[in-house]
Amino acid sequence: MYDPAEQPLLLEARHVRTWFPIRRGMLSRVTGHVRAVDDVSFDIRRGETLALVGESGCGKTTIGRTLLGLETAREGNVLFEGANLLGLSVAAWRPFRRRLQMIFQDPLSSLNPRMTVLDILTEGPAHHGLLHGPREELAERLLGEVGMDTSSLHRYPHEFSGGQRQRICIARALSLNPEFIVCDEAVSALDVSVQSQIINLLLDLREKHHLSYLFISHDLGVVRLISHRVAVMYLGRIVETGNTRSVIETPRHPYTRALVSAVPVPGRDRARRIILHGEVPSPARPPPGCPFHPRCPEAMDVCRREVPTARTVDGITVQCHLY
């Protein structure tokens, strides 16, 4: 049985900060920063899936884009097999580009409508010098890997359903033999029945190719089906990390408890749902102390003054003054 803890580290994010400048006036002076990702650290091992969950706008997608060099971090390190990816030039990124891939939420907008499936699946391998035979042979093998037949080869993205388009996106990511894939809300736009098919496909491919995933989602119900570990994000920070089952069954952080209480469970009393009051604060002006304190039902005086440090309780790492 696969045990992530026994696998070698593949990716390590260390104290990553990705802030976006706010510019005002005729001279576009920088008057502040949106702290989309603020001091985030985590590890992912070979063959492991780490889920990143939280409300929209909490910084999940920005982390995924930062790992792949699509956003520029102002601080921190992202080590991929020990090599730091942050700050690499376009040329220095080239050997890594094929090894780290991304699958997006909206397959239609991430596929070029003027390209056939054959072109879509072979463009990357041709660019990276990985095409060692007829294009059709490679594209047919990739379609087989994602459960599609070869009659799709000369068709265009608009001729497929949402689920089929997402399969094409997965095949395109596989075409470069990646080791790490960021799945950014990869099943959120799909019907529930199609969601489970795509999750099963991702699970099969993970096992077959020993892939590692960063699975970004707002849906804990989906996350529990695919991830080994989960990291809960709030306002640009990770507030709780641990084994998926432990975090979902015994959430420690008050924010995680609210998220878990919103997952429908047959037989669970709806009245037990924790309703959070107030708006998520602006990441341009995060509150002092614990960033969750304006909405936290358990906030204490210390929460308004001091940022909690990470503590590990029964294998779960949590940032909260309650621990």
Nearest distance from residue 38's CB to ligand SF4, in Å? 15
Nearest distance from residue 257's CB to ligand SF4, in Å? 10
Q: Which is closer to ligand SF4, CB of 225 or CB of 322?
A: 322
Q: Which is closer to ligand SF4, CB of 156 or CB of 323?
A: 323
How many angstroms separate the Cα of 303 from the Cα of each of 72, 295, 308?
A: 31, 11, 8
How many angstroms separate the Cα of 158 from the Cα of each of 116, 138, 193?
A: 10, 22, 21
Residue ranges in contact with ligand SF4 by CB under 6 A: 253-254, 290, 292-293, 296, 298-300, 303, 308, 320-322
CA 305, CA 63: separation in Å to the nearest integer? 27
Q: Which is closer to ligand SF4, CB of 21 or CB of 288?
A: 288
Helix ranges (H only) for the chain are 60-67, 90-97, 107-110, 117-127, 135-145, 162-174, 192-209, 220-226, 244-249, 254-261, 301-305
Nearest distance from residue 313's CB to ligand SF4, in Å? 13
Nearest distance from residue 309's CB to ligand SF4, in Å? 10
Q: Which is closer to ligand SF4, CB of 38 or CB of 140?
A: 38
Exposure string (b/e) for 7-29, b if CB count within 10 Å is 16 or more?
beebbbbbebbbbbeeeeeeeee
Sheet holding 75-80, edge to edge: 29-45, 9-24, 75-80, 83-84
Nearest distance from residue 253's CB to ligand SF4, in Å? 6
**Tokens standing for 245?**
């089952």
Q: Which is closer to ligand SF4, CB of 163 or CB of 254?
A: 254
